[in-house]
Chains A and B, each alone.
Chain A
């Protein structure tokens, strides 16, 4: 869908993108980076609105430098900021935007009605946008990006300003854009945690450089974790500790760190699952101790944890080899490996 090759964008004072090479396939891809990491600059270049200083980029197989108009006809864009006039209704606005994308009048009206329904706007779509809540406005912005049935949508911080419920709904909607509508998504966020539920693939950039690019499943399924909670009994006043000791003695690997901030966090054991036998081991151990098993559930890794450890490793590597040129090939190698994995996933 998107391929960039040593793409750079330099402004007089800052380097927004620095030899960025990406290969993004179909699916939902998260683009993560702090503010100023170069996410918006990348989107501008991908839409053919801003020339790259050097390097090349192609969207849907079209060169951004020469085919900007053709790309924009097949791509939808949802900006980060407010972009809606308050005095027209969602229907009128989205119909107009559909026509601006080249849809004939009748098709523009039909597609608008369909799209607004799919993003979850019903009767309110006839009212002026000025009276909408933030969540509804975000839906209208998403609808105008989808109304011309693009092959790819670029969503810039779509969850900005939403409350937790609205955030979840928006993320669910984004997931559906690919699974139900068949439209590939590139979604930016500065919150890593949001993207793990939504994205198939995550790209992290920082300071215009590629930090990491991997499929989400790589992060979260390499090691499954079991969360185990047990009761206390008369013979074992601290059931959790008893199970921990018994499991360690049986050779199971336990995570030292428990989830903070949750009620009863101290009573949850995180056991690394190496296969079916781990489940049996936990069951047997608890049964042998004669205490009650409250729950045993699979817990996915959070991407953030992976990056936290990865960042620490990077920092250590950087300290060991302060020469930036030495770090660069390592990153390229890592990225290359990831691309191969990505290809395997697409084929499967």
Chain B
């Protein structure tokens, strides 16, 4: 038997050939493909996909927390007797969960842009077909999309739960749609702020601290002053103070236009008139973030 297994010399078809260098004649898909590749790589990276196991831990935990809380709310809504609506509105969910969103942004915005700056990988990008605007757009869009995934997925869970509990379909669908628009706006605004902070602080640790500081300190300061103003009876001040922190900006816009109940003290959110100012402030911040990023990358070319 073993004699049959031995192959006669010279007829063994499996041999290793050194095939030498092979040139590439296939397609080169160019700039827009490269931009899309950078976008998908950055988006995956924001959840630790394609990176080390260690870097998956935090974003996945935060994502799980966002979904778990929504699932608990759904469980309460379905099991609770006599419920006609979700205990937490769609537009309110992101505000309730702001700490988780802030932590996510603070951990992922620096990894998205600070790494490339700190390890000087940026010149390798700019020695390829893409231009500065492609790089900034891809990174911005990826961060905003990552935040949207984080904030919209729990809304989907809430909506599914609401339908399961047989709440009014038309009401729920409208509120769900308003909630999606709200978190989309929040995602773009927060992504811009987070990336600017991270791009200006190439050391990752500082970037994390800077993002947390800007989000939480501004929100803490604004809501404290709002409470003081409200207790002193100056409701007009409450309305305008909300312009000074990212989260209260989003709150103001959704109160004015997206049927949300304001989280401001006493529910004193902006009316449709002053809501326009809020909306303009949000758009100005988004455009401003983009402009700062473009400026930042002008210097790091090569």
Q: B-contacting residues of A (Cβ < 8 Å)?
A: 40, 43-44, 47, 49-50, 69-70, 72-73, 75-77, 79, 81-88, 92, 96-97, 99-104, 107, 111, 114, 118, 128, 144, 148-149, 180-182
Q: Is the CB of A102 within 8 A of B120?
A: no
Partner-binding segment picked from B19-27, B68-76, B268-276: B19-27
Number of A-B contacts (CB under 8 A): 111
CB neighbours of A96 from chain B (8 A): 37, 41
Q: Is the CB of B120 within 8 A of A82?
A: yes
B127, CB-defined interface residue at 8 Å: yes
Q: Is the CB of A87 within 8 A of B55?
A: yes
9 smallest beta-carbon distances between A and B, as pairs: A149-B24, A77-B127, A102-B28, A99-B37, A181-B21, A102-B29, A69-B129, A100-B128, A85-B119
Q: Is the CB of A104 within 8 A of B34?
A: no
Q: Is the CB of B129 within 8 A of A107?
A: no
Q: Is the CB of A79 within 8 A of B34?
A: no
Using A69-B131, A83-B124 as known contacts, say yes or no to A102 and B30 having CB atoms under 8 A apart. Answer: yes
A194 to chain B, nearest CB (A): 23
Q: Is the CB of A128 within 8 A of B52?
A: yes
Q: Is the CB of A114 within 8 A of B120?
A: no
Q: Is the CB of B52 within 8 A of A87?
A: yes
B198, CB-defined interface residue at 8 Å: no
Other than the known A144-B124, A148-B28, what 10 A-B pairs have Cβ atoms closer than 8 Å?
A79-B127, A79-B302, A83-B124, A87-B51, A87-B52, A96-B41, A99-B41, A101-B34, A103-B29, A181-B21
B123, CB-defined interface residue at 8 Å: yes
Residue with the greatest number of chain A CB neighbours at <10 A, chosen from B27, B31, B124: B124
27 contacts between A and B (CB under 8 A): A47-B127, A49-B126, A49-B302, A50-B301, A69-B129, A72-B127, A73-B30, A75-B127, A77-B127, A79-B127, A83-B120, A85-B116, A85-B121, A86-B119, A87-B52, A99-B41, A100-B37, A100-B124, A100-B128, A100-B130, A101-B129, A102-B27, A102-B33, A111-B24, A128-B52, A144-B124, A180-B21
CB neighbours of A107 from chain B (8 A): 24, 26
B112 to chain A, nearest CB (A): 12
Residue with the greatest number of chain A CB neighbours at <10 A, chosen from B20, B23, B27, B119: B119
How far is A180 from B128 in the complex, measured between Cα atoms in Å? Answer: 24
Interface residues of B in 142-166 (CB under 8 A from A): none
CB neighbours of B128 from chain A (8 A): 72-73, 97, 100-102
A49 to chain B, nearest CB (A): 5
CB neighbours of A79 from chain B (8 A): 120, 123-124, 127, 302
How far is A114 from B21 in the complex, measured between Cα atoms in Å? Answer: 8
Residue with the greatest number of chain A CB neighbours at <10 A, chosen from B31, B41, B126, B129: B129
B38 to chain A, nearest CB (A): 6
Q: Is the CB of A148 within 8 A of B24?
A: yes
Residue tally, chain B, CB below 8 Å to A: 36
How far is A118 from B23 in the complex, measured between Cα atoms in Å? Answer: 12
A15 to chain B, nearest CB (A): 19
CB neighbours of A118 from chain B (8 A): 21
Of chain B, the residue at the smallest CB distance from A106 is B26
Interface residues of B in 67-125 (CB under 8 A from A): 115-116, 119-121, 123-125
CB neighbours of B301 from chain A (8 A): 44, 49-50
Of chain B, the residue at the smallest CB distance from A93 is B121
Interface residues of B in 276-302 (CB under 8 A from A): 301-302
Q: Is the CB of B52 within 8 A of A100?
A: no
Q: Which of A73, A76, A86, A87 contacts B129 (CB 8 A)?
A: A73
B50, CB-defined interface residue at 8 Å: yes
Of chain B, the residue at the smallest CB distance from A147 is B24
Q: Is the CB of A100 within 8 A of B125?
A: yes
Q: Is the CB of A69 within 8 A of B302?
A: no
Using A73-B30, A86-B119, A102-B129 as known contacts, say yes or no to A47 and B37 having CB atoms under 8 A apart. Answer: no
Q: Is the CB of A44 within 8 A of B302?
A: yes
Q: Is the CB of A104 within 8 A of B26?
A: yes
Of chain B, the residue at the smallest CB distance from A47 is B127
Of chain A, the residue at the smallest CB distance from B24 is A149
Of chain A, the residue at the smallest CB distance from B29 is A102
B125 to chain A, nearest CB (A): 6
How far is A104 from B265 in the complex, measured between Cα atoms in Å? Answer: 54
Q: Is the CB of A180 within 8 A of B29?
A: no
B302 to chain A, nearest CB (A): 5
How far is A97 from B26 in the complex, measured between Cα atoms in Å? Answer: 16
Using A72-B128, A72-B129 as known contacts, say yes or no to A81 and B120 having CB atoms under 8 A apart. Answer: yes
Q: Which of B26, B28, B51, B124 contacts A88 (CB 8 A)?
A: B51
CB neighbours of B21 from chain A (8 A): 114, 118, 180-182
Residue with the greatest number of chain B CB neighbours at <10 A, chosen from A100, A104, A180: A100
